[in-house]
Structure formats: structure tokens, C-alpha cells
A and B are shown apart, each in its own frame.
Chain A
Amino acid sequence: MNSDTVPQKVRSPLGEFWRHFLRQKVAVAAALVLVALCLTAVFAPWVAPYDPTAADYDNILSGPTAAHWAGTDAFGRDVFSRILHGARISLAVGFLSVSLGSVAGILLGLLSGFHGGWIDGLIMRSCDVLLAFPGILLAIAVIAILGPGIDNVIYAVAVFSVPVFARLVRGSTLSLKGAVYVDAARAIGAPNRVLMLRHILPGTLPSVIVYFSMRIGTSILTAAALSFIGLGAQPPSPEWGAMLADGRSFIGVASHVTLFPGLAIFVTVLAFNLLGDGLRDALDPKLQRS
């Protein structure tokens, strides 16, 4: 009302972000689910009631009971314990692959947007080529070269995050490059490296963070799909996609073997997507006005 006489309380960008983010109830709930999931993943060996690979042939394919909350699989292994251990694999694959892909993509995007010219042309055309392959196809091609296995899935899934981040960061870099504060930094003699990493990079981070969250969801889904078709984690690994593949033969006989791992994938990916939506709404000034 009388904002011209009383100075408004100045909020830091981070404080401003928190204020917007905490209003997104669904996203906050998703974030809490993810924190709980990460804790479970880290402490899985202590939290899980059973050894995830210990077979018990007297107790195979039993439905959910008080002793085995999610039942047992064809080897009598406790499905609940396997899911808890599987969370370590899925979350690690998600974080590592997107981290790898985003760091590479951010650097390429910065170079591309900052220098322009032939560097820009080369990097952006390479991104076009990478995006010309549907994501999972690229991942399968990488696995055909490196061989099946969960480590290779990380690289395979990281590859198709690179062009996404490169394009995103290039766009923000182009608009920030002409900002007055960047000119000022250049005028006092800051080298290009400092201009890019200290002055432009932080400005690109809001959109990077939003994509980061969404890409983790996509990457976990893709990694699980690769394991499901037999190109990712190999038995007896308790990876969620691999568990679904194992349980396929017992559909109708012991549906819980596929029900719970599938639910775990769904809830995790859903949480990352909801978090991404919330972050976008909190960070994107264009949406705040409407």
C-alpha cells in the first residue's frame, strides 16, 4: 500500500524460491517422499528385514504375510527387502546418469552460447544428431557396444541427457551474455572462463534444476526398462525392472512379485515428476504472474 514510503523487506533469491516452493503442497509432499526414499536407499542394509539375495526354498512365491510384507519370489527371497535394496540401484543410476549428462550438457551449452560461430554450429548440430535417435534406441546402441550391465546403463542413459541440457543452457547463455553485469565484468578484464562459470552459469541454474528433477524420473524409467528387457542389471540384482522381468512368468500365480516392484518404480518416477512440476512453477517467473 505505502510501499514507496516503507522500504519492503528484501528477500534473497533463495528465500524467494522457498516462499514460492512451499506453496506447492504436492511438490513438497513429493520432496518428502523422495527424502524418505533416499534415506531408505542409504540405510537399506540396516532397514531391510532380510538379505535381498538369500534364497529360502521352503517358502517360494508366498503372498504378503506378516513375516514377508510383500511376499516372496520364485527363490523364496523377500520381495520387500529386495525393493529396499533396489532403491539404491535405481536412485544411484538416476542421479549419476543425469549428473554426468547435465555436467557435459551444461559445459557444451555454455561454450556454444558464449562463443557462437563454428563452435556453436558444431555443438548444436551434434545435439541435433543425438536427438535424431529416440532416447532408448540410443541407450540400446550404447549397450550393444559396451555390453549389458547396470554400469553401462548409467552411460547409456547419460548420453541422451546431454543434448537436452546443452540446448537449454545455450538458450539461457545467449540471453544472459548481453546482460549489463556481464559486460561490466568483461570491462574490468575478467577472462572468458570466469565470465562463463561465475557470471553466466548461475543464471542458467533455475531451468537446469527443473530439468534435472524431471530427467531423473525419465532416466530411472528408462534404466528400469533396459533392465526389464535384459540389457541392464543382471540377476540376482534386486533392480526393480529386473525384478519385474523375473516375475513375468508368475503372473496370475503370484502377481505380488510384479505388483510391488512396479509400484516402486511408479511412485519414485511420479515423485520426481511432481517435484519437477513444482520447481518449475516456483522458479519460472512467467508462470507466477498468471
Chain B
Amino acid sequence: MLSYLIRRVTSVLPVLLVVSLLVFLFIHMLPGDPARLVAGPDATALDIANVRESLGLDKPLWQQYLRFVTHAVQGDFGQSLKNKIPVIEVIGERFWPTVLLTVVAMAWSTVFGLLIGVLSAVRRGRWQDYGGMILAVSGISFPAFWLGLLMIDLFSVRLHWLPTGGYEGWKSFVMPSFALGLGVAAVMARFTRSAFLEIAREDYIRTARAKGVTERLVVWKHVLRNAMIPIITMVGLQFGFLLGGSIVVETVFSWPGLGRLLVDSVAYRDYPVIQAEILLFSIEFILINLAVDLLYAAANPEIRFK
């Protein structure tokens, strides 16, 4: 296990390196002078010269990159152009709302996705299966932002049950986490169903039935336990989907998170914030995938000992 752990963790390093390089180059890929972009739209020639000096933009590219990485590791991403405060502070206060929203969405969508998937597989070819799979394919095709607007229309404007947006109390979580999680629940349901049906064909399941194990035990212990291995991987992949989805859902519900910050920053051309956010999102995604792979290895001896 240890050698696998070391191998898997070190395999992340080159990806991190390239991602950080790309994010660093981002500022240089923009049309125009990077110093002018970072200094902001109403900067004077002196400001621009100062920025060029302080960011080391007059030095060779590789030195600038080293500077970028050493600063980034210490949490220094420069100043936000919009609020003139350090980027790390801007991002810091937006971090938890997004994490909480993502976790709530992930939790309910995994549970419901699993239940619908198992039900569809167990009742294969019957109405529960068709119903579950119609729900699932609709969920995948449903635009999260439209769902958000429909819910605001019904539950906030017409029924006054829930707030239209904001970040206060559990009520404000209901609609955003539902809009965010629907797609994931749908993917999980489809995936669970096929993983379940695949395992159910195995010989050891037939053996369990032949031994006289009750149907309930076969389903929940023998089949689902083995189907969990691919399902764990899927959960990890869906986190990336949620990070992406949060950008749109946060915009709909005025959620004070990283997603809406990114949209606002692109609109405002707040490049230091955009740069830091893209790096943060990518690192988060890479680390989640790493964690999932390690969990997967812990659950599946075949991989550990290869």
C-alpha cells in the first residue's frame, strides 16, 4: 500500500507543475501588456512601472514563474484590482460558502442517486426501472440555472417559503443545493444501476443465492458492497462537476461563493483574482481525484498490490 501511495502522490506532481505553469502563463496569454492589465484600467504610467518592477515583469519568464510559485505557495497572489485588497483575503471569505454548498449537494445527490440506481437495477424492466431512468436522463439534461429560476418562481415569489438567494440559515441552502445536485444525482443513479447489474451477473452472487442467502442480504451486502468500488470513483469525478456547476448556481442564487466571484472577476477583468481562482479550483479538483484514488485502493486490494 505504501509504495502505491508514494507512486500515486508523486504522479500528481508533474500535473500540478504544468497546471501552475499554465495558470502563470494565463496573464501572458492575454492580449496587451501584463503590467498594464494587473495595474488596472485607471492606472497611471507610474503605477504601471511600479507593477512591472514589483512583479518582476522585466525579468526573464522562468524567473517570473519561480517568483509566482514561491509566492503562491505562501498564499500571495497579489492584489485584487476591484477592491485593492490581497487576493487571498477576497478568496478566503468566499471559500467556505462554496465548500458547504458543494458538500450538501454531494451528500443528498449521492444518497438519492444510489437509492434510485439500486431500485432501478433490482426492478429491472419494470416501471420502477423505467421511471428511475427517465428521471435520470431528464436530470442530466436539465439546465441547473433554469431549474434555479423555476424554483425561485414557485417557492420564493409565489409561495414565499424560501429566500430567493443569499447565504443565511438552512433555508437558503435548500434550492441552491437541489439545483446543483440534480445532475449529479442523475449521473449517480445511471452509474449505480449499471455497476449493480454488472456485479449481479457474477458467479459469486449466484453462489450466494444458491446457498439460500435472503434476497435482501444479496442486494445490500453482496452486490452493493462490490458495486461500491466503481461508485466511489464516480463520486470523486462528480466533485469536479459540482465545482463547475457551482459557478452557474451561485450566480442564480446570489451565493457569496467562489463561483460567483469568478464570474464577477471575469466581467471586471480582475486578472489576479481570476488567476488565483483557476489555480485553486484546479488544485482542489486534482486533490479530490487523488483522495478518491487512494480510497479506491484502500477498498480494492487488486490495485494495492499490483
Contacts and interface: CB of A to CB of B under 8 A. Distances in A.
B274 interface: yes
B166 interface: no
Interface of B: 14-15, 18-19, 22, 26, 29-31, 137-138, 140-146, 149-150, 152-153, 157-158, 201, 240-241, 243-245, 247-248, 251, 262-263, 266-267, 271, 274, 278, 281-282, 285-286
A134 B240 contact: yes
Given A137-B247, A144-B274, A230-B263, A129 B153 contact: no
Contacts of A252: 153, 157-158
A229 interface: yes
Interface in A213-263: 217, 221, 224-225, 228-231, 241, 244, 247-248, 251-252, 255, 258-259, 261-262
A274 B137 CA distance: 8
A137 to B, nearest CB: 5
Contacts of B281: 133-134, 137
> Does more than half of chain B's interface fall in helix, strand or loop, or is it mixed?
helix
Given A221-B143, A262-B143, A248 B244 contact: no
A141 to B, nearest CB: 5
A228 B251 CA distance: 9
Interface string A13-44: 00000000000000000000000000000000
A135 interface: yes
B26 A141 contact: yes
Interface stretch (A70-78, A81-89, A161-169, A265-273): A265-273
Interface of A: 125, 128-129, 132-137, 140-141, 143-145, 148, 217, 221, 224-225, 228-231, 241, 244, 247-248, 251-252, 255, 258-259, 261-262, 265-266, 269-270, 273-274, 277, 290
Contacts of B149: 244, 247-248, 251, 258, 262
Contacts of A270: 137-138, 141
A230 B252 CA distance: 12
Contact of A132 (B31, B138, B271, B286): B286
B282 A266 contact: no
B285 A251 contact: no
Given A133-B282, A141-B26, A217-B141, A266 B266 contact: no
Contacts of B153: 251-252, 255, 258
Contact of A140 (B29, B31, B146, B266): B266
Contacts, number: 119
Contacts of B241: 134
A193 B62 CA distance: 38
Contact of B244 (A137, A244, A265): A137
A128 B289 CA distance: 12
Given A144-B266, A251-B157, A265-B143, 12 more contacts: A136-B245, A136-B248, A137-B244, A140-B247, A144-B26, A145-B26, A230-B263, A244-B145, A247-B149, A251-B152, A252-B153, A266-B141
Nearest to B271: A144
Contacts of B271: 144
Contacts of A228: 145, 248, 251
Contact of B285 (A132, A143, A259, A274): A132
Given A129-B18, A134-B244, A251-B152, A265 B263 contact: no
A261 B240 CA distance: 27
Given A140-B266, A231-B263, A269-B143, A134 B243 contact: yes
B52 to A, nearest CB: 21
Nearest to A218: B140
Contacts of B138: 266, 270
A244 B266 CA distance: 20
10 contacts: A129-B18, A133-B281, A134-B281, A137-B278, A144-B30, A144-B266, A225-B145, A231-B267, A262-B146, A273-B137
Contacts of B244: 134-137
Nearest to B198: A290
B34 to A, nearest CB: 12
Nearest to A135: B244
A144 B278 CA distance: 11
Contacts of B137: 270, 273-274, 277
Given A132-B19, A137-B282, A229 B247 contact: yes
Nearest to A134: B244
A136 B247 contact: yes
B22 A129 contact: yes
A136 B244 CA distance: 6
